[in-house]
Amino acid sequence: KAGVTQTPRYLIKTRGQQVTLSCSPISGHRSVSWYQQTPGQGLQFLFEYFSETQRNKGNFPGRFSGRQFSNSRSEMNVSTLELGDSALYLCASSLLESTEAFFGQGTRLTVV
């Protein structure tokens, strides 16, 4: 069974640009959540989607958005990139909202 797949693995963008990251959950999983990991702040929750609906949202500005498609694949978008957005962005999928989460390898975003 394939794991959680995130693309791309690495990305370099310049300030002011926007970026879209993709996450394909484990087959059959309907819940996808996104996290940001930085050396200073550690792991922080961004948002969670279940059956195409955003269920929860963390304390991030509106520049961070996401969506989930009918096949449970999810994308997150960051607009007007700032240097501080440089981080490892992790996606996790779970069968249902309250079951064990399985993490992808992450997308390392560098903003220059």
Does position 100 bind other proteins by CB under 8 A? yes
Does position 64 bind other proteins by CB under 8 A? no
Whole-number Å distance between alpha carbons of 29 and 38: 27
Strands 53-57 and 42-50: antiparallel
- Binding segment toward other proteins, per CB under 8 A, in 21-29, 60-68, 74-82, 99-107: 99-107
Please tell me the number of Cα atoms within 13 Å of 28 on its side-chain side: 6
* Count of residues in contact with other proteins, rule CB under 8 A: 22
- Which amino acid, 24? S
Give the footprint of other proteins on this chain (CB under 8 A): 33, 35, 42-45, 48, 55-58, 90, 92, 98-106
